[in-house]
Structure 1
């Protein structure tokens, strides 16, 4: 058998007859007796070791690294090829040594369990590989080092060495053991040593910003190199470990120096450099956290600085204010998109910071102090943002110069922008209060630019998570208007049949008090005779339609058109009911002069409302000639005294292009006041009172579900429930917890005061 075995080891030609004879000979010897198989195994081992010794001497005859590697790879290549052929004829030997019959052999890959193959690999490992593996590794690492320095060489030399390490292991459980313990380890150590020397020098010489480009380039370069020189099979993580090693030595080691540049880059909007920094820091544990903090600080400081710079304009013009907020949002969103690829962590940081800008009170503290009284005065000042958002919505939905110059699509887009900002408003209940006031005014005065948009807005508010009870009240208002229109038509038809022509000039709106206003909004006033006589007819008509319902007249919310004639011409004046009552005081005495006190007796208006109404007729800002004149030069309604005298301006006229117009229509209503000063205070108190009830309701809901809960957990869950309406203060939460404990809804645990228990 020996000549054929030696031919196979040396890769010399073997005839078919020799190959077949070898199978038969092995089979025959193994069946002679028990000593046959061990003798064949021993002789085979001696010949394999002898061949390896000769191969080793051939390899070691080369001095330089490249020649040594080439010789080793050539010898190993031949030997490894024979590892696949030589074991085949010795199948009987393996079965005999294992004491198994052929038919009981496991149906596995026999090469993995081949005794001869294992013998060949172990012999190579113990003999040549153990003696020269350090030289092989060193030579391979030197070549990789040369490549890192820009020198060219045959990459197959390193790949060949790697493959020999991978294929050498005869351990069936861990095929990569030799590779991992030797080649992989050496490669990682060499890489780390190289960059530990190079990286600090580059940073010192070129600065942080150039170093980031260098580190990024090297990371990509090393990753590609690792894919060539390291094992890439699925059960091996060599490339990942190499990347981690490079990140540690190229990025983590200089994390502080790199991150120190982040704040200035964000301020200067250096998106490309930020993108590079982000890609580097995202590889480092907690590397992103300082960047998130820098982004938040920038958005808050930049946002507040911009708002403060234009505070004098934006606090009085809701359109400019909202446009400014949207501009800031778009600017910060663009920064996050371009610099951080819209990474969710940076989007969260943007939202968190933008929320602080939207809800900040410092800008409005100076310009718009917190004027609420009673309960509200004890709470913290709130941002005016919800109110201004509601004002802006009103400008878009009402017939205004702004809504008229915009297309339907543009109006819709701007309303969606408002809803976008509204997401970041903490106290959405304030927005809803003002939005409802504006909607009430639009529906009563019929000044909506687009009724479909009005109803869409209600649904959009529902979609963005506004509280259902708020939104339902708005929807109810639209239903009321439609029902009222039908009643109004029916009333007119009834009176038209009775030949009462005045019915055509009257429009009544019969609305549900709960959805629209409160009883305190009612103000007493002496109506003109034409209206006063008409009220019983409406009440009788409604009584016949609905038994048991009571009508309450809200003159504060009413308006009409009167014809005003003087020495110059005739003019149609759109006025509130209060303005109408004041002007009708002169109806039978056009040229008389009436004192404030006389007007107070004639109209029966409360002092505050009379002053406000007279001021609108004496100093209406859009008129060059006022309807009423006064004997004092008043700067505000407070300047009027009981003795102040008023009279009708007989030279009143509309002035256009410096010419007097003898005919025309004037709207003196302006922004119809839908609430008195008293009811405004009550509204503010009502917001706080409603919040108190919401907090109580939410606490009871949580306690009923949890039965027992800690103070901290209760507060967390409470904020989560209420955040869509408002953010409850710690003081309010504490007060309501104490109140609920007093009312026996819950109790403190006797052993732990921070633990609460529900009382059924």
Structure 2
């Protein structure tokens, strides 16, 4: 102890170093030292570090020489092993002992480090940067330069061969590879990039070896076992390599992600075309497990899923249309079968998307897109909307020709058939009678589901309103509560408020009309009260078309009209009643030798039948019937045909000569007479009494006004387009053509999609009538004119 505590002015560095060197060597070799030796080492290092001359640098050089010498000895012990695993074990053992001392040996040299780099350390602390120990850095750099650089390649190659052996199913000690990796990670003394050596060597070699291994294996698997089995192989290997990477690669880095990307590139992206080529076949044959696996693989590569989405769309569209065409004979005759077919298709396609793609939003969107094309296809059912003249904002526009929504192409009849199906469920029909209330509600919800995919919802609303009018006027609704619920459901699925409000007004009108009818019966003659029901309704909500049909009413009905009008004038002064006879109906009693029958008829049918009231056995010509009833020719033909060729009757009410096959066969001299053997036949037996409904579906419009209905759909679309354009420009003040079309479609898409031709025509009309104008410098920009 006395020899160490010498006056620093009387001793040289060599003497001090000789005193401390044995202790330093013991530390390097992990040998035990006493507490006194540990304290002496601190003192000697302190003394050497504070010498003004080259003391600190001499100490550092001497320390480096001993560290390098120690490492050389370790290298010789490692290289003494020729077998790879023994070499790895020896290296890892030597490295771990050395690395442990990298934490202990720098401790006594704190004063040396302060003397050498005090100013640098202070500046690093100010910048909040980690301070690296000079001695620790010296130790790591010496190991890197003296031993690691020389055997690095052998270590790396040996580790990669062990990993390859594991991939081939051979067993080995995984700690050997992990130990090599740790030395790569811990060797780097670069404070800004601690993983530099690991990343440039071990990580790069691992990824390269993985790519080389699977490049060969993948080719073999695909050629020998086919695509379906290869997908299982690829998915299994991807999972396996991810787990292996978690074990062998540095977890706190991007290594696992890079390795995964490499495996995906080799195992999936390389064979993308071959894998995707099987997708249409798998979709067609509902191979859901294979599709689920394919999605997992394709979802790993850019744009891998896009072809699958396209194949699904193509399948749904082609399979859906093929299915509809295969059943065309059934579904064209029955709207229930048509809707059920559409719903069955939707369930099948939805099941495919759920089971194969786990309801992935991208595939749900593809399903919706393709199913919409099936629903809106016009090859099975088509609705011809006329091309007519007119616009909605001014009579001046009546000279401008317009076309329908699809540039003259027919539209799908699906909206009309959906409305017909709703009518069957909500009206008193054999279908609605055999279903429970919950079942009807469920089927109506199904209709709303299909309606979501209908492009031209305005057509559905037009026909739905017609059927609702029929049900309310004839009192044939199966459930009035369900009627009102349906209107609210239509509101919930996004139908425009003006359509829904008009339907809601119809229910209010009926309730008001019922009160008026009750008041009328209380005030009029008792004979009238028992035989007549009046419905006084708001024309704005109910009237369809402007045409009113002339008809000569039976005297029994004609007598009621003045009394009803007089009653109404007292209730509502200044209002005028308009009689819509084609929307009226009644019940007459028919008696003959067979029996007595109550027959529900329209007002037109009643007017025709009353022509025989005073002469029941005569034959009356078509010309005389036309003079007696004053009905227009189309309406008379249609009414007579319903009386002499009613499909539900085995014995018709009227007979005709010569025999006619359609209403067009009636000539002026065609004779009609009452069938005196008319009767209701049930189960092959004649009934002496009974009731028969000849109204069928109440004729709410004449032949001409049916054309007006279709024209009014087109006309309303024109008004909607004009209204939306003005609305957009009022808000924007100025907008270019592309943006205008985008916003216009966004506004109108809930009811119909306007064609580019229609948009262009209405823009021109609005410009012509000075609602908007083009920008002086840019013809594709429009400006609102207040």
Q: Please give the range of the TM-score, normalised by the shorter of the 2 chains.
A: over 0.9
Contact kept in structure 1, 2:387 and 2:408, CA below 8 Å: no
Q: Which residue matches 1:192?
A: 211
C-alpha distance in 2, partners of 1:671/1:240? 69
Q: Deviations over 1:89-115 (max 9, x none)?
A: 222222222236999994999985222
When residues 396 and 34 of structure 1 are mapped into structure 2, their CA distance, relative to the original with a 3 A threshold, is: farther
Q: Secondary structure at the match of 1:724?
A: coil
Q: Which residue matches 1:520?
A: 546
Give 1:384 deviation, angstroms: 0.9
Q: Which residue matches 2:384?
A: 370
When residues 519 and 41 of structure 1 are mapped into structure 2, their CA distance, relative to the original with a 3 A threshold, is: closer
Q: Deviations over 1:559-596 (max 9, x none)?
A: 11222222222111111111122222222333333222
Q: Which residue matches 2:59?
A: 40
Give 1:373 deviation, angstroms: 6.7
Among 447, 451, 466, the residue aligned to 2:480: 451
Contact kept in structure 2, 1:492 and 1:503, CA below 8 Å: yes
Q: Secondary structure at the match of 2:411?
A: coil
Q: Which residue matches 2:178?
A: 159
1:675 aligns with 2:712: no
Q: Which residue matches 2:346?
A: 329
Q: Deviations over 1:51-83 (max 9, x none)?
A: 111111111111121111111111111111111
Give 1:435 deviation, angstroms: 0.7
C-alpha distance in 2, partners of 1:102/1:596? 118
Q: Secondary structure at the match of 2:691?
A: strand
Give 1:443 deviation, angstroms: 0.8
C-alpha distance in 1, partners of 2:39/2:482? 93
Q: Which residue matches 1:416?
A: 445
C-alpha distance in 1, partners of 2:337/2:672? 39
C-alpha distance in 1, partners of 2:120/2:237? 57
Contact kept in structure 2, 1:573 and 1:667, CA below 8 Å: yes
C-alpha distance in 1, partners of 2:221/2:124? 62
- Using structure 2 for the length normalisation, give the TM-score: 0.92
C-alpha distance in 2, partners of 1:627/1:33? 134
Matched ranges for 1:107-118 at <5 A:
113-118=132-137
Q: When the two structures are aligned, how many residues end up with a matched partner?
A: 752
Among 682, 687, 699, the residue aligned to 1:661: 687
Among 50, 55, 69, the residue aligned to 2:69: 50
C-alpha distance in 2, partners of 1:61/1:735? 92
Contact kept in structure 1, 2:28 and 2:98, CA below 8 Å: yes
C-alpha distance in 2, partners of 1:338/1:356? 23
1:83 aligns with 2:85: no
Q: Which residue matches 1:488?
A: 517
Contact kept in structure 1, 2:71 and 2:146, CA below 8 Å: yes
C-alpha distance in 2, partners of 1:108/1:518? 84
Q: Decide which moves more: 353-362 or 695-704.
A: 695-704
Q: Which residue matches 1:585?
A: 611
Structure 2 gap segments, 5+ residues each: 1-19, 390-402
Give 1:155 deviation, angstroms: 0.7
Q: Secondary structure at the match of 1:462?
A: helix
Matched ranges for 1:585-734 at <5 A:
585-734=611-760
1:271 aligns with 2:288: yes
Contact kept in structure 1, 2:130 and 2:191, CA below 8 Å: no
C-alpha distance in 2, partners of 1:119/1:635? 111
Q: Decide which moves more: 586-595 or 350-359.
A: 586-595
Contact kept in structure 1, 2:375 and 2:453, CA below 8 Å: yes
Structure 1 gap segments, 5+ residues each: none
Give 1:558 deviation, angstroms: 1.0
Q: Which residue matches 2:8?
A: none
Contact kept in structure 2, 1:26 and 1:90, CA below 8 Å: yes
Contact kept in structure 2, 1:271 and 1:335, CA below 8 Å: yes
Q: Deviations over 1:367-415 (max 9, x none)?
A: xx73747456873211111111111111111111111122222211111
Q: Deviations over 1:219-242 (max 9, x none)?
A: 111111111101111xx1111110
Q: Decide which moves more: 244-253 or 94-103.
A: 94-103
Q: Secondary structure at the match of 2:412?
A: coil
Q: Which residue matches 1:479?
A: 508
Matched ranges for 1:83-232 at <5 A:
83-99=102-118, 106=125, 113-232=132-251
When residues 36 and 373 of structure 1 are mapped into structure 2, their CA distance, relative to the original with a 3 A threshold, is: closer
Q: Deviations over 1:593-651 (max 9, x none)?
A: 32222222222221211121111111111111122222321111222222222222222
C-alpha distance in 2, partners of 1:295/1:133? 52
Q: Secondary structure at the match of 2:530?
A: helix
C-alpha distance in 1, partners of 2:687/2:49? 130
C-alpha distance in 2, partners of 1:78/1:529? 122
C-alpha distance in 2, partners of 1:222/1:102? 43
Give 1:504 deviation, angstroms: 3.1
Q: Decide which moves more: 298-307 or 19-28.
A: 19-28
Q: Decide which moves more: 110-119 or 615-624.
A: 110-119
Q: Which residue matches 1:314?
A: 331
Q: Which residue matches 1:379?
A: 408
Give 1:713 deviation, angstroms: 3.0
Give 1:428 deviation, angstroms: 0.8
Contact kept in structure 2, 1:626 and 1:652, CA below 8 Å: yes
C-alpha distance in 1, partners of 2:135/2:83? 34
Q: Which residue matches 1:432?
A: 461
Q: Which residue matches 2:255?
A: 238
C-alpha distance in 2, partners of 1:71/1:548? 113
C-alpha distance in 2, partners of 1:560/1:493? 21
Q: Decide which moves more: 99-108 or 582-591.
A: 99-108
C-alpha distance in 1, partners of 2:669/2:446? 51
C-alpha distance in 2, partners of 1:72/1:231? 19
C-alpha distance in 2, partners of 1:46/1:522? 117
C-alpha distance in 2, partners of 1:299/1:105? 66
Contact kept in structure 2, 1:373 and 1:681, CA below 8 Å: no
Q: Deviations over 1:452-474 (max 9, x none)?
A: 11111111111111122111111
C-alpha distance in 2, partners of 1:170/1:408? 79
C-alpha distance in 2, partners of 1:31/1:508? 120
Q: Decide which moves more: 428-437 or 60-69.
A: 60-69
Give 1:39 deviation, angstroms: 3.0
1:247 aligns with 2:269: no
Q: Deviations over 1:450-501 (max 9, x none)?
A: 1111111111111111122111111111111111111112222223xxx523
C-alpha distance in 1, partners of 2:722/2:161? 74
Give 1:682 deviation, angstroms: 0.8
Matched ranges for 1:738-757 at <5 A:
738-757=764-783
C-alpha distance in 2, partners of 1:298/1:102? 70
When residues 460 and 166 of structure 1 are mapped into structure 2, their CA distance, relative to the original with a 3 A threshold, is: same
When residues 196 and 671 of structure 1 are mapped into structure 2, their CA distance, relative to the original with a 3 A threshold, is: same
- Using structure 1 for the length normalisation, give the TM-score: 0.95
Q: Which residue matches 1:286?
A: 303
Q: Deviations over 1:282-324 (max 9, x none)?
A: 1111111111111111111111111111112212211111111
Give 1:518 deviation, angstroms: 3.7
C-alpha distance in 2, partners of 1:519/1:307? 34
When residues 373 and 720 of structure 1 are mapped into structure 2, their CA distance, relative to the original with a 3 A threshold, is: closer
Contact kept in structure 2, 1:521 and 1:556, CA below 8 Å: no
Q: Deviations over 1:305-350 (max 9, x none)?
A: 1111111221221111111111111111111111222211111111
C-alpha distance in 1, partners of 2:476/2:741? 44
Q: Which residue matches 1:463?
A: 492
Give 1:358 deviation, angstroms: 1.0
1:26 aligns with 2:45: yes
C-alpha distance in 2, partners of 1:102/1:379? 83
Q: Secondary structure at the match of 1:113?
A: coil
